[in-house]
Structures are given as C-alpha cells and as structure tokens.
Amino acid sequence: METLTIGDFAARSGVAPSALRYYEREGLIRSTRTAGNQRRYERAELRRVAFIRIAQQVGVSLDEIRAALADLPENRTPTRADWAHLSDRWRHRLEEKIALMQRLRDDLSGCIGCGCLSLHRCKLINPDDRLAEEGPGPRILLNPAD
Amino acid sequence: METLTIGDFAARSGVAPSALRYYEREGLIRSTRTAGNQRRYERAELRRVAFIRIAQQVGVSLDEIRAALADLPENRTPTRADWAHLSDRWRHRLEEKIALMQRLRDDLSGCIGCGCLSLHRCKLINPDDRLAEEGPGPRILLNPAD
DNA sequence: GTGCAAGTTGAAGTTCACTTCAACTCAAGG
DNA sequence: CCTTGAGTTGAAGTGAACTTCAACTTGCAC
C-alpha cells in the first residue's frame, strides 16, 4: 500500500473527504491521480493535514496556513528538518497565543470582576496609560500586538 | 452623561455599531431607547461586551456566550460578585484552552517534526494506545476531551 | 429653526470553511 | 461480467458573525 485513497486518507487524518477536496482546491494539500482520475495520497500528506488542523486550533485562517505551507519544498517530500523549521516558527505563534490566553485568564476575575473594563483608564487594561490617546476599548487585553 | 449613544458605546467597547445591533438582536446585550427610538447604553453594558469579546478570543460561540450571560441577574445591574462568579466559571474554560495550546506547543516540534503524525500509533498522539480502536486521526492532540 | 452628522429599520450581501447534491464513473469481490 | 460501494465534478447550500444598503428619522450646534 503505497498511497491512500481519499477515504482511507480521510479516516487516517480525521478530516472528511469533502474537506480534503476543499483543501486541495485551496492549494493546501496535493494528490496524484490514478488512470481513472481518482485521488491518491502519499502518507507524507498526513503531516500537512495534521499541521493544518493544529494551526486551525490556534485560530489561524486557511489563507495564512497556505502561506506557511508554501515554505515547504515543492519538488521533494519535506524532510524532518523542513517540518522542524516550520514547526519552530509556529511554536512562536502558539507561545504568543498562550501568553494572550494566560493574560486573559489572569485578568478575567480581576478586571471583569471589579468592573473596571467599563473604565477607560483601567490599570489592567492600560497598564501605563500609554494608550490613552489611541482610542477606546480593552486594547491591550484583546490586542497585545498594538 | 448617564448613558451612551451607540456611537460612543462602539468607540468605548471597540465593537462596531452594526455588531452591537447584531448582539442586541441575538439577545447578548440590552439597551434602552430615547423618545426618538435611539439606543442608549448604560456603562454596565460595557462589561458584557468585554466579556463577549474575551470569550470569543477563547473560541466560544455567541450561542454559548449568550447561555453564559443568561446567568446574570435580569432585573438589576450585575454586581461585582455576579461577574466574579461568571468569570470563575470561564477561567476554567480558559485553563483548558491554555492546556490544549501548551500540549500543541510541546508536541508540535516533537510530533510533527519527526513525522509521526502520519503514524496511527504515534506515542505522542496516542500515549497509551487506549484509543487504537476509536478511529483515526490525531485524536488526543486535537480533542483532549475524548 | 435649520442643517447635517448620527441614528433607525429590514433585507440582502459577505467571508470563511466546509457540506450536500445530482449525475455520473471507477474498481474490486463474487 | 456485474454489482456495489467508493470516487469524481461543478454548483449550490449552510451557519456563524457580521457588514452594507437604502430609505428614512433624530438630535445637537450654530
């Protein structure tokens, strides 16, 4: 069994065949065709799908995921090193997301609990008042990259 | 200035007027009306909107958020204690999400990097082989509640 | 008291990430 | 061979979360 049918590939990746076809149309994964025009997937494609699903969990759009996957070599099966490289870059995104979540967690009781989210100058939202002129809203809390 | 117009409320909450009207239609926030039928918001509503945006960051649907907000008192402005109670329950969701993200981070290099996501019996995905019969896919990694 | 930015409505449109459908073809077991 | 389950396509549908539009009304500054 060198390659997988779409059904087997779907079963092994946990992604529906319709989604796999969609990913292919969107240029996220690739397949070869049999003489009878049916898709066949290399096992290596499973890594792509796993990566896609993980990235989605982090809240990344398929557009961005496509861009990231574009860094993988086109003409050969990605090596362990290729994946490690990609994974490293994405670990950073994950770290950032984790940091955001932790800040949300830490602020949740404190900031919402005390009602200060309704105050423009809340110290938690706006730790050193740098953003006072940059507009309203829980800017730092929700958008730490500002 | 006792209450806020939709424009001011939008500016302070960081949410577009159209989104605020949508939230109201969906029963997530409330407003009173002037004699001329324009919306007026109490400052206390800002806390609701902040809560909504935070919950969305955690990946919760508006449906679920509505359900959570339904626990707040209807006939009076929620107190600090009301919010603290709600926040506590949601800290748990955040903790879970954070834990998931951390697992993703820890597994990302190891598991994708080594290519084992393509293997059904990968130890990281399937630590003690309990799930071998429960179907394919990176089950534990993506769906720890299983 | 008038001008005009800001507000109102319902209906329709948009984007994302898929799924469903209908009509058809392929492939593998008996 | 033939049946039958799996695969193919393009087009249309779905649901979530909004946004946009058109036509109209309000409310504040001058």
Q: What local confidence, expressed as pLDDT, does residue B110 receive?
A: 62
Q: Determine the residue among B118, B119, B134, B139 to mutate to test chain A binding: the one whose Cβ has the most chain A Cβ atoms within 10 Å.
A: B118
The domain tally of chain B equals 1
CA distance B75 to B122: 54
Give domain status of residue A134, yes or no: yes
Blockwise average pLDDT, block size 10, chain B, 146 residues: 91 96 97 96 92 87 93 86 82 82 74 50 38 37 38
- Do A17 and A74 fall within a single domain? yes
Is A108's CB within 8 Å of B90's CB?
A: yes
Strand D nucleotides where any atom sits below 7 Å of a protein CB: 6-9, 16-20, 25-27
Indicate if CB(B6) is under 7 A from strand C. Answer: yes
The distance (Å) linking the CA of A57 with the C1' of C21 is 30
Among the listed residues A49, A65, A66, A60, the one whose alpha carbon sits nearest the alpha carbon of residue A14: A49
Chain segment B32-66, per-residue pLDDT in tens = 999 999 999 999 999 899 889 888 888 889 999 99
The distance (Å) linking the CA of A62 with the C1' of C15 is 12
Give domain status of residue A87, yes or no: no
Indicate if CB(A34) is under 7 A from strand C. Answer: yes
How near does any CA of chain B get to the CA of A139, in Å?
8
pLDDT at A138 over 50: no
Helix (H) or strand (E) holding B40: strand B39-42
**Residue A140 in tokens:** 């730092």
The distance (Å) linking the CA of A6 with the C1' of C25 is 16
pLDDT at A144 over 80: no
Give domain status of residue A84, yes or no: no
- Do A14 and A70 fall within a single domain? yes
How near does any CA of chain B get to the CA of A36, in Å?
26
Among the listed residues A35, A55, A32, A34, the one whose alpha carbon sits nearest the alpha carbon of residue A44: A32
Give domain status of residue A88, yes or no: no
Q: What local confidence, expressed as pLDDT, does residue A41 receive?
A: 96
Look up the CATH number of the domain holding residue A24. 1.10.1660.10
